[in-house]
Structure 1
Amino acid sequence: MPITLDTSLPPSLYPLAWLIGRWEGSGALATPSASSPDLRVEQTLICSAQEDGTLAWRSVIHRVDAPAPLPPTSAFARDAEESAPPADPAATGERSLLHREDGVWTVGDLLPGQDRAAAEAAPPGSPASHLSYRLDARFERRGEQAEQWQGEVRGPRVQLALPGADGQVAATRMFGYVRGTLMWLWEQPAPVEGGAPGETVLAPHLSLELHRA
């Protein structure tokens, strides 16, 4: 699906034009144990332009007592064919609030090494036509300290990382607009199976596939 640029947007939001709108969809919440099945989640996401040139982000995610979509936690590594999740006769379909978050995204300057002239000369929509911009995102959840994420937007793709107190990456989020669908993956630290005590690795936490509402 082609991206239509709303020329009434602040120019600073042109790199995020594909994200603006209301999205709804479902995905998987990873469980701590590899032997436990992932849990189904459903999300409503609203991204809107603000007068100051930033993007407002509001996300509401519910846990649903139902099987997670297949394949689980693979929004960025999907097979061309996938089967429906098996029916669970014990599932009730009951919904419970898992996560509510508000945020502000700010697009910054071009990252070093970008060739604007070459991008403008490339065919529209081709990988060569995309430029990488600095991206800052502040997320807030009630009762918790706000988080400041950093990353980049390049074409219809966003990569964000949360810096940790030790200078390492504490979590990552990746967003991609693919054939009219918004797919995103949130990774958090998880224990390394068979690793040393306290050893962790970034692993899928949430994986969702959203469509414009």
Structure 2
Amino acid sequence: MPITLDTSLPESLYPLAWLIGSWEGSGALSGAGDAPDARLEQQLVCTAREDGALDWRSTIHRIDAPAPLPPTSAFARDVESPPAPSGTGERTLLHREDGVWTVGELLPGQDRAAAEAARPGAPEGFLSHRLTAQLTRRGEQAEHWAGEVRGPRIQLALADGAGEVVATRMLGYISGRLMWLWERRGPVADGAPGETALSPYLSLELHRV
């Protein structure tokens, strides 16, 4: 599905034009240890601000039901068939998150002239911009995420005080759907004491409302 650019947007938001709007959909919360994955439902609203930034408001509920199969190979599990329907369908708020996303300058090494000369939709026509997101969930401290946006794809990372990446987020606009994956750093299964690695926390596939 082509992306239609709203020219009334602040120019700073052009790289995020595909994200602006209301979204909803479902996904999976990764189980800890031997616990099964849980079903999630999300409502997301991304709104342009007059100052050229973007407001982000996300509400995610955990549903007492089996998790849907992940939508892309990035989230795939080795299973033969979907789990049989079960559960009560009861909804429990997992978290509500508000934040402000800001597009920054071009990353070094970008060829603006080549991008302007490229045919519409060609990979060489996309430029990578710095991206920051200040996100807050109820009852938790604000988090400062940093990364980049390139075409219909976002990569963000969250670092601790020592500069070590403790979480990442990847978002992509694919065939009219918004797909995204949130990973967190945790203990490695059967690893040495203190050994950690990034592993999926939640993954979702949303459609535009």
TM-score, normalization by structure 2:
0.94
Which residue of the partner structure matches residue 86 of structure 1? 83
Q: Is the 8 A contact 1:75 1:208 kept in 2?
A: no
Deviation at 1:28, TM superposition (A): 0.3
Asked if structure 2 preserves the Cα contact closer than 8 Å seen for 1:21 and 1:48, the reply is: yes
Q: Which residue is equivalent to 1:176?
A: 172
AA at the equivalent of 2:74: A
Q: In the alignment, what sits opposite 1:19?
A: 19
Residues 1:166 and 2:166 are matched in the alignment: no
1:137 aligns with 2:136: no
Q: Distance in 2 between matches of 1:187 and 1:12?
A: 28
Deviations 1:165-186 (A, max 9, x none): 2211010000000000000000
- Superposition map of 1:57-136 within 5 A: 57-71=56-70, 75=72, 77=74, 85-89=82-86, 91-136=87-132
Answer yes or no: is the 8 Å Cα contact 1:140–1:147 preserved in 2. yes
What is the correspondence of 1:32-71 to structure 2 with a 5 Å cutoff? 32-33=32-33, 35-71=34-70
Q: Is the 8 A contact 1:174 1:185 kept in 2?
A: yes
CA–CA distance in structure 1, aligned partners of residues 184 and 126 of structure 2:
28
- What amino acid maps onto 1:66 in structure 2? A
1:149 matches 2:145:
yes
- Distance in 2 (alpha carbons) for counterparts of 1:176 and 1:155: 9
* Partner residue in 2 for 1:210: 206
Q: Mean alpha-carbon deviation: is it higher for 98-107 or for 138-147?
A: 138-147
Show CA shifts across 1:131-178 (max 9, x none): 000001000112211000000000000000001122110100000000
Aligned counterparts of 1:114 and 1:39: Cα–Cα separation in 2: 41
TM-score of the superposed pair, with normalisation by structure 1: 0.93
Q: Where does the alignment leave 5 or more consecutive residues of structure 1 unmatched?
A: none
Cα-Cα RMSD: 1.6
2:189 pairs, out of 177, 188, 193, with: 193
Task: Give the share of equivalent positions with the same residue, in percent.
Answer: 70
Do the aligned residues in 2 keep the contact of 1:69 with 1:84 (CA within 8 Å)? no
- Work out the CA distance in 1 between the residues paired with 2:14 and 2:94: 31
Give the distance between the partners of 1:47 and 1:159, measured in 2 at CA: 17
Q: How many corresponding residue pairs?
A: 207
Rounded Cα–Cα distance in structure 2 between residues aligned with 1:111 and 1:59: 28
| Contact persistence 2:75–2:203 (CA under 8 A) | no
1:63–1:100 Cα change, 3 Å:
same
How far has the Cα of 1:84 moved from its partner? 6.9
Task: Write out the 4+ residue segments of structure 1 that deviate beyond 4 Å after TM superposition.
Answer: none
Deviation at 1:88, TM superposition (A): 3.3
How far apart in 1 are the matches of 2:62 and 2:88? 12
- What letter matches 2:132 in structure 1? D
Q: Write the letter of the residue equivalent to 2:31.
A: T
Partner of 1:186, secondary structure, is strand
Shift of 1:85: 2.8
Contact 1:75 1:184 in 2 (8 A): no
- Listed as ranges, the gaps of 5+ residues in structure 2 are none
